[in-house]
């Protein structure tokens, strides 16, 4: 039986709203939420793509985040002084023979810039950030690998289901991650696709370091990443007093401030490095 056109339009509006709200959803999840077949969902996605309302990816769709959200270049210059301080402090956590994950945040890019000047080698870096890959490619002693996935050109990032699946073939000593907001509830980011990728990277990592400057304090974003109880380390330019005033109370081994003394940072590094490492499974091609 042919479905009336008004019902088709209504369903596609719901589909567009789902993708806009979540940023990324696999086709199977779209089918489940809309209670329609995969064939119907794919026809609707094609129609929405034709209207330039979404961008399709392998297994799902990403909303017009790439066009609406400030570009990588625009974000790169924001709070640059704090990012540089955080980046220099981050180098103390990197040791030779490490395998690291770098996400697409501009603070993490600052770590790549610092690493290029003060190389800790040999290391392997896996990243979803095109600028990080381009910056470190060719650096002696640094092997660079890009995740697979859809390229969003303004954000200079690789995202989507294929990007997440490609992380299964790695295990990381450290993951360096960014965020759009932090408050008493935890850490937040701008897009579901980014949060999904960060969660996947954390699952493949022995430990994760969140590099977040003070402009993100008391801020939330559309998508929740994790609570503070699940954070291994926050590397920031904020003092413990500022964090506490915002309702964020961390254990000593969870926190390192670039505004503190060198001895305090060394102590934080030692506390963090003394935590127990767990072996992770790895898939081989």
Quick one: 183 and 101 in the same domain? yes
pLDDT tens string 177-233: 999 999 999 999 988 889 999 999 999 999 999 999 999 999 998 889 999 999 999
Residue 201 lies in a domain: yes
pTM over 0.85: no
Residue range 105-109: average pLDDT? 95
Distance CA 278, CA 206 (A): 6
Quick one: 228 and 260 in the same domain? yes
- What pLDDT does 224 receive? 94
> Higher pLDDT residue, 64 or 48?
48
Torsion of CA 189, 190, 192, 198, to 10 degrees: -40
Q: SS3 for the chain, per residue?
A: CCCCHHHHHHHHHHHHHHHHHHCEEEHHHHHHHHCCCHHHHHHHHHHHHHCCCEEEECCEEEECHHHHCCCHHHHHCCCHHHHHHHHHHHHHHCCCCCEEEECCCHHHHHHHHHHHHCCCCCEEEEECEHHHHHHHCCCCCEEEEECCCEEECCCCEEECHHHHHHHHHCCEEEEEECCCEEECCEEEECCHHHHHHHHHHHHCEEEEEEECCHHHECCCCCEEEECHHHCCEEEECCCHHHHHHCCCCCCHHHEEECCCCHHHHHHHHHHHHCCCCCCCCCCCC
| pLDDT tier for residue 285 given thresholds of 50, 70 and 90 | very low
Residue 40 lies in a domain: yes
Residue range 88-117: average pLDDT? 96
pLDDT tens string 110-155: 999 999 999 899 999 999 999 999 999 989 999 999 999 888 888 8
Quick one: 47 and 148 in the same domain? no
Residue 93 lies in a domain: yes
Quick one: 48 and 117 in the same domain? no
Residue 151 lies in a domain: yes
Q: What is the overall mean pLDDT for the chain? A: 87
| pLDDT tier for residue 284 given thresholds of 50, 70 and 90 | very low
Quick one: 157 and 53 in the same domain? no
Quick one: 224 and 89 in the same domain? yes
Return the CATH number at 114. 3.40.50.1360
- What pLDDT does 283 receive? 44
pLDDT tens string 240-274: 999 999 999 999 999 999 987 776 677 777 778 77
Quick one: 50 and 78 in the same domain? no
Quick one: 22 and 119 in the same domain? no
Distance CA 47, CA 20 (A): 15
Return the CATH number at 31. 1.10.10.10
Which residues neighbour 156 within 8 Å (Cβ) at sequence distance 6 or greater?
71, 72, 104, 129, 130, 131
Quick one: 105 and 35 in the same domain? no
Quick one: 115 and 249 in the same domain? yes
Q: Domain of residue 252: give its range.
A: 73-273
């Amino acid at each position: 039986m042919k479905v009336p056109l008004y019902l088709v339009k209504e369903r596609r509006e719901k589909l567009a709203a789902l993708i806009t709200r979540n940023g990324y959803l696999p086709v199977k999840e779209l089918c489940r939420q809309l209670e329609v077949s995969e064939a119907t969902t794919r026809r609707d996605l094609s129609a929405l793509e034709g209207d330039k309302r979404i961008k399709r990816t392998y297994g799902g769709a990403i909303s017009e985040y790439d066009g609406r959200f400030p570009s990588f270049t625009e974000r790169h210059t924001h709070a640059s002084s704090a990012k540089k301080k955080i980046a220099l402090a981050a180098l103390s956590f990197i040791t030779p023979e490490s395998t690291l994950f770098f996400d697409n945040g501009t603070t993490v890019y600052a770590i790549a810039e610092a690493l290029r000047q003060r190389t800790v080698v040999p290391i392997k870096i896996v990243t979803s950030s095109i600028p990080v890959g381009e910056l470190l490619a060719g650096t002696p002693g640094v092997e660079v690998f890009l995740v697979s996935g859809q390229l969003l050109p303004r954000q200079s990032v690789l995202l989507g289901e294929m990007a997440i699946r490609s992380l299964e073939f790695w295990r990381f000593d450290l993951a360096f991650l960014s965020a759009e907001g932090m408050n008493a509830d935890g850490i937040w980011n701008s897009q579901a696709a980014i949060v999904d990728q960060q969660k996947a990277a954390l699952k493949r990592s022995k430990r994760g370091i969140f590099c977040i400057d003070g402009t993100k304090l008391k801020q939330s974003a559309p998508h929740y990443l994790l609570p503070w109880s699940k954070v291994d380390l926050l590397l920031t330019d904020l003092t413990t007093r500022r964090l506490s005033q915002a309702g964020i109370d961390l254990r000593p081994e969870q926190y390192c401030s670039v505004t503190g003394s060198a001895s305090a940072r060394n102590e934080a590094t030692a506390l963090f490095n003394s935590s127990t490492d767990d072996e992770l499974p790895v898939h081989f091609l």
